[in-house]
Amino acid sequence: MVIAPLVWWACAQEPTPEPGPTPLDAPRLLRRASLDLRGVLPSTEELEQVRADPAALDGLVEGYLDDPRLEERVVAWLHERWHTRVDGFSAAWYDYGLDARDEVEFERAVGEEPLRLAAAVVVEDLPWTEVVQADWTQANTLLLEIWPLEVLDTGEGWRRARWTDARPAAGVLVSNGLWWRYPTDLFNLNRGRASAVSRLLLCQDLLAGPVRASDPLTLLEGGAEAAIREDPGCQGCHSVIEPLASALFGFHWVDEYAVEEMTRYHPEREPLGALLLGVEPAFYGEPTADLAAVGAAVAASEGFEACAVQTFAEALWRRPTGTSDADTLHTLRGQFRAGGLRVRALLRSIVSGAEYRAGVVQEGEALSRRLLSPELLQSAVEELTGFVWTAQGVELLDEDERGFRTLAGGVDGEEVLRPQSEPGLTWALALRRLAEGAGEHLARRGFEQGEGPLAGLGGARPGDAAFDAAQEELIWRLWGRAPSAEDLAEDQALWEEVQVLDGEQAAWAALVSLWLRDLDAVTR
């Protein structure tokens, strides 16, 4: 039998077992994968399945990779890196005649547009290169109303759309959401945007190096423009930045606060790049006729592929990668390439690895405990209790003008660029209030409305079969492990104490809130 070379090569690249952290047990690992890939807790049945047969875990995780809820997870991961889900842009809801109540929806729609495009590429199992080459984007009803888009798919929510303003086929490189987040002005001339392309898609941070002219007099007497063109110290970075910036002038806004300017693409301004910057568009020395050519050049670059691996590895490992990860990342990159640059294949490789499955870590960079992000906390809480913490329709763990996103450890994309990895004071406070609200809500549902897992528990006490069953079921579902004898003893003491004070409904609310704040609930 002849094995196709690609298959042979892919098989040859299977990761060899390596010493390292002790793997997490199957139920907890299933919980981790379910939250990471679907944003929800695993069902009781799924947990039971892997408890009985740990080998069943891989099959379940494989199913998670096909779950449509993976899209939301990709959006969340990429926001942590691309930082577009911010709480304000130069254009606002009132510029489009929207209602004030639409403010957050507007901001999220704008900021998510590039993220949704990328997520669609992942969920539809397209090559990752489509992110910079797609002739479509994703839009929701609000964006379809305000931007020059024609819908390509029927249905609700985010769906495929195409720009109608002659912008080239370049995926996120022609995204309004991306360039609204990374605006420019008549002085910067898209240089900041070029830097953003390099950082976000190639993981090359051109601003990490010192900004220093070799000859200050060139800078002082000729100005910054002269120094950029002539000074060797400046040319070190600007030899890359200028040509890339030159390609972005379809997004050149004469008035950077005019919504009409910001809304549509300006193909007639594309030649301004060469005129104002004095260089023709190019990508690392390769001439590019337009943004579509830039997208193709980005897609073909080594950095693009490596950056994708780094991006998704960091998203799932919940820590920055470093030199110690070189071997693992190299292996992942090989698998990514072998999988046709499909991110789902990459995700499969990552979640199969020792780093991701770490349970007990004695040395190295792997994390055994990773704090849940605010959106995962909300998701887990909502699923278990039905409680969604919103105010006037705004999800308070997803926003910072009124909400608690950064206080709960999340990323706002402007001042907080990395998720919090350790517990902190405001994290503890936000978690407490979330848990209190959720516990009360679940108890109310059970005792006042006769629904949910606490329904019918009136009169049941610790030690009763119904009480104990409900307790163990909820903990198992929430933590992915059975409660210990000490856990049960503490729970019983708390329930009885609060029951005396405020009655059994309040006692259950207290118990649930305690469980929601346990380490096994708030980490994965």
Partner 1 sequence: MGALPFLARAATLGERRFLFVFCDGGWDPTYALAPLFGHPYAEMDGGGEVATLGGLSWVDGPDRPAVSDFFRAQAARSALVHGLEVRSVAHERCRRILMTGSAGEGVDDWGAVLGAKAAVERVMPHLVVAGPAFSSRYAASVVRAGRGEQLPQLLGGWSRLDSDLTVRGPSAGAAAAVEAALARRLERQLEQADAQSAAVARGALDALERAAVLEQRAGELDFGAGEDFDDQWATAVECLRTDLCRCAMVRFAGLYNLTFDTHAANTLQASHFELLFQSLGRLANTLDSTAGPDGLALSESTTLVVISEMGRFPMLNEQGGKHHWAFTSALLWGSGVRGGTVVGGYDDTMQSAPTDLTTGEVSAAGEPLTAAHLGATLLALGDVDPGEVGSTPPLSALLDL
In the window 141-200, what residues touch partner 1 (CB under 8 A)?
185, 187, 192, 195
Choosing from 209, 271, 278, 458, the residue that interacts with partner 1 (CB under 8 A) is 209
Question: Could you tell me the CA-to-CA distances from 429 to 268, 423, 432, 441 in Å, in that order?
Answer: 53, 10, 5, 18
Closest alpha carbon to 21 in 510, 370, 425:
370
Q: How far is 119 from 99, CA to CA, in rounded Å?
A: 28
Residues 346-365 touching partner 1, rule: CB under 8 A, are 360-362
Q: Does residue number 383 form part of the binding site for partner 1 (CB under 8 A)?
A: no
How many other C-beta atoms lie within 10 A of the C-beta of residue 463? 9
**One residue of 170, 407, 454, 470 binding partner 1 per CB under 8 A:** 407
Give the shortest CB-299-to-partner 1 separation in angstroms. Answer: 26
300 vs 360, beta carbon nearer partner 1: 360
Q: How far is the CB of 417 from partner 1 (least distance, A)?
A: 7
φ, ψ (nearest 5 deg) of residue 43: -75, 165
**The one segment of 42-50, 265-273, 416-424, 468-476 that binds partner 1 by CB under 8 A:** 416-424
418 touching partner 1, by CB under 8 A = yes
CA atoms of 430 and 407, how far apart (whole Å): 7
Among 6, 258, 428, 466, binds partner 1 (CB under 8 A): 428
Contacts of 52 (CB under 8 A, 6+ apart): none
Residue 499: name the closest of 460, 465, 470 by CA.
460
Crossing angle (nearest 10°) for helices 57-65 and 26-38: 0
**Tokens matching residue 411:** 């990323």
45 vs 415 by CB, closer to partner 1? 415
Which member of 400, 467, 478, 479 binds partner 1 (CB under 8 A)?
A: 400
Q: Which CB sits closer to partner 1, 46 or 487?
A: 487
Q: C-alpha angle with apex 37: 32 to 40, nearest 5 degrees?
A: 70
Cβ at position 391, least distance to partner 1 in Å: 4
Among 104, 109, 509, 521, binds partner 1 (CB under 8 A): 509
The nearer residue to partner 1, 330 or 418, going by C-beta atoms, is 418
Per CB under 8 A, 101 contacts partner 1: no
- Rounded to a whole number of angstroms, the minimum distance from the CB of residue 483 to partner 1 is 11
How far is 213 from 192, CA to CA, in rounded Å?
18
Among the listed residues 201, 86, 199, the one whose alpha carbon sits nearest the alpha carbon of residue 133: 201
Rounded to 5 degrees, φ, ψ at 470 are: -65, -40
Q: How far is the CB of 290 from partner 1 (least distance, A)?
A: 27
- Beta bridge partner(s), residue 243: none
If one asks whether residue 493 binds partner 1 (CB under 8 A), the answer comes out as yes
Closest by CA to 445, choosing from 454, 433, 458, is: 454
275 binds partner 1 (CB under 8 A): no
Q: Does 429 bind partner 1 (CB under 8 A)?
A: yes
The correct pick among 77, 136, 336, 404 for binding partner 1 (CB under 8 A) is 404
Considering only residues 243 through 262, tell me which ones interact with partner 1, judged by CB under 8 A: none
Residue 87 identity: D
When binding is defined by CB under 8 A, the residue of 403, 453, 462, 480 that contacts partner 1 is 403
214 binds partner 1 (CB under 8 A): no
List the one residue from 354, 388, 461, 488 that touches partner 1 (CB under 8 A). 388
**What is the distance of C-alpha 67 from the center of its chain?**
16
Span 299-338, contacts to partner 1 by CB under 8 A = 320
432 binds partner 1 (CB under 8 A): yes
DSSP letter for 73, please. H
In the complex with partner 1, which residue's Cβ is closer, 147 or 515?
Answer: 515
Which listed residue (16, 154, 323, 392) binds partner 1 by CB under 8 A? 392
Q: 387-419 burial, b for 16+ CB within 10 Å, e for fewer?
A: bebeeeebbbbbbbeebbbbbbbbbbbeebeeb
223, amino acid identity: G
**Cα(463)–Cα(469) distance, rounded to whole angstroms?**
9
Query: C-beta of 441: minimal distance to partner 1 in Å?
Result: 6
CB of 172 to partner 1, least distance (A): 20
Residue 111 within binding range of partner 1, rule CB under 8 A = no
Query: Of 207, 300, 455, 466, which one interacts with partner 1 (CB under 8 A)?
Result: 207
Among 6, 7, 211, 258, binds partner 1 (CB under 8 A): 211
Task: List the structure tokens of 435.
Answer: 């848990």
Q: Does 448 interact with partner 1 (rule: CB under 8 A)?
A: no
Give the closest residue to 44 by CA, choosing from 383, 522, 352, 376: 383
By DSSP bridging, strand 358-360 and strand 286-287 are unpaired
Count helices and strands (H / E) in the chain. Answer: 23, 9
Q: Does 402 bind partner 1 (CB under 8 A)?
A: yes
Residue 387 interacting with partner 1 (CB under 8 A): yes
Site stretch for partner 1 (CB under 8 A), options 259-267, 293-301, 413-421, 459-467: 413-421
Contacting partner 1 (CB under 8 A), which of 77, 89, 389, 467? 389
Residues 8-27 that bind partner 1 (CB under 8 A): none
Q: What is the C-alpha to C-alpha distance for residues 187 and 501, in angstroms, rounded to an integer?
A: 66
Q: Which of 372, 510, 521, 524 binds partner 1 (CB under 8 A)?
A: 510
Q: Which tokens in the block code for residue 154?
A: 């029927």
Spatial separation of the C-alpha atoms in residues 357 and 351, rounded to whole Å: 7
Among 16, 97, 422, 449, binds partner 1 (CB under 8 A): 422
